[in-house]
Structure 1
Amino acid sequence: MKILKSLLFLALLALPFKNLLAHALWIETPLNGKIGQAQQVNIFYGEYATQEKEAPAKWYSDVNQFSLWLIQPGKEKIRLEVKETQDGFTASFTPTVQGQYALSVVHEAKELGGTTKYEFSSYAMVNVGNVKAQTEVPNPLKTVFKSQKVYQKNQEVQFQVLLNNKAFVKGKVMIFSPEGWSKEYIADENGYITFTPIWKGFYLLEASNYEKVNGTHYGKTYDASWQGATSGIYIQ
């Protein structure tokens, strides 16, 4: 029995650190907003499937020092002030014109996970009035829908996975439902994934990318990088 336990311990040590760090950062905000009305934004870190939202002091490395950017229709992006809460952060902005607004976070953790560099990112869209054009999101890894809207349950939903604005062929995406169900999907040769939601509510999508690459980060050498990128869709 002692030998078995020792072998199991060694096997766990041999696992890539990316398998041991499963938490994600994500943004939640209503899909539709109104001119002149404050739009509340919440940022969380933890496990969406189990609604585990960690207190900011427990977030990995310096991830709790992220920057939240607002990309406004026809205007320069601005950094929003965030306030710490018991289970994350909150922010708000007030739309002044019609169009599509984007909220974006891209943060490389200061500490390495073993010899792996970690990047956490997320984005969310807000439609205000008549949306004539989609706002471009600068995040390097992302899941993109043809249109930002509330989708219907029991109907196919399709989106594309992009890495550096190119189709992420065979890219992996975990989809988490509001009921705790989750499943991993792999993008096709054009970066597309199709799934059928069977529950109403907010679904979280997490794309990930793991590469063997060498470099230095804050004076430390790494030999791999991991990117985790989230976005959400609403199902009715």
Structure 2
Amino acid sequence: MLNKLLLCCACLLAFATGASAHALWVETSPSGKKGQAQEVRVYWGEYADKDISPLDKWFSDTKAYTLFVVTPDNKKIPLASTPGKDHYKAYFTPESDGVYTVVMQHSVKDVYHGSRLDYHASAQVTVGKGAAAANANSNAISVEAPARAKYGVNQQISLKSVLSGKPTSGEVEVIAPNGWIRKLWADSTGIVNFTPLWPGRYMVEVARTDKTPGSHQGKNFDAIWRCATYCIEVK
């Protein structure tokens, strides 16, 4: 009986620690300057565990992602990535004031445990004054906060999650710089609020599963798992 209890506890622990799956995310400074190159970095790993995978350990063809930036006047500019130590990096140079939206997307070639894996990530860069272009993030799933050059500790942040162009309710996961995880629930408008307790980079993640079967790269799947990430700098 004791052995069964220990085994049950071990299984629950494994489930809890494995809840945050690997993801792709984008990091860049939330503020930029006209005429100055802005660096964008793409990582793969488990953010909560500070587990950043080296490039040769990225799953399947994950590194074949698409990366582009949407300018304030809604122009879409592809970004070419070059390998770094544990990430890929790209650059763009803002030419006007406003909000620039960096967008990454990728459907993994290999079907994983019966699911097609769709990864999405975004970041926003504020240059001078101005707003983001309408519908700048065209990803199938996204989660973002209003673009700001700076967020502060103990200042509430509003997040909005979108699926297929419409607000989506459901779980939103916020991962603090120290690995602390908080699971929140977005309402029917896709909105959820949280208040950062520590300075540093937070990652927000939303995942949804569509149980519609299909075929991808010649392989059948039972569901599509979509994940979106977004990083927030808190001073």
TM-score calculated relative to the size of structure 1? 0.87
Is 2:140 aligned against 1:157? Answer: no
Question: How many angstroms does 1:20 deviate by?
Answer: 7.6
Question: How many angstroms does 1:24 deviate by?
Answer: 0.7
Question: How many angstroms does 1:52 deviate by?
Answer: 1.3
Distance 2:197 2:113 in 1: 39
Aligned to 2:127: 128
Aligned to 2:101: 102
1:142-172 Cα offsets, whole Å, 9 max, x none, are: 11334434222112222111111211022x2
Q: CA RMSD in A?
A: 2.3
Between the two proteins, the alignment pairs up a number of residues equal to: 225
Distance 1:21 1:147 in 2: 25
Tell me if structure 1 keeps the 8 A contact 2:125–2:147: no
Tell me if structure 2 keeps the 8 A contact 1:69–1:105: yes
Structure 1 residue ranges, 4+ long, deviating more than 6 angstroms after superposition? none
> 1:194-205 maps to which residues of 2 (within 5 A)?
194-205=193-204
1:173-206 Cα offsets, whole Å, 9 max, x none, are: 2111111111221212222111111001111001
Aligned to 1:91: 90
Aligned to 1:185: 184
Aligned to 2:138: 138
From the superposition, tell whether residues 146 and 86 of structure 1 become closer, same or farther in structure 2 (CA, over 3 Å).
Answer: closer
Question: How many angstroms does 1:76 deviate by?
Answer: 2.7
Is 2:87 aligned against 1:56? Answer: no
Is 2:167 aligned against 1:167? Answer: yes
Distance 1:96 1:147 in 2: 18
1:19-72 Cα offsets, whole Å, 9 max, x none, are: 788101000000110011111111100011222111122111111111211112
Distance 2:179 2:53 in 1: 17
From the superposition, tell whether residues 64 and 20 of structure 1 become closer, same or farther in structure 2 (CA, over 3 Å).
Answer: farther
From the superposition, tell whether residues 210 and 132 of structure 1 become closer, same or farther in structure 2 (CA, over 3 Å).
Answer: closer
Distance 2:94 2:158 in 1: 29
TM-score calculated relative to the size of structure 2? 0.88
Over the matched positions of the two proteins, sequence identity in percent amounts to 33
Tell me if structure 1 keeps the 8 A contact 2:100–2:132: no
Aligned to 1:44: 43
Is 2:63 aligned against 1:79? Answer: no
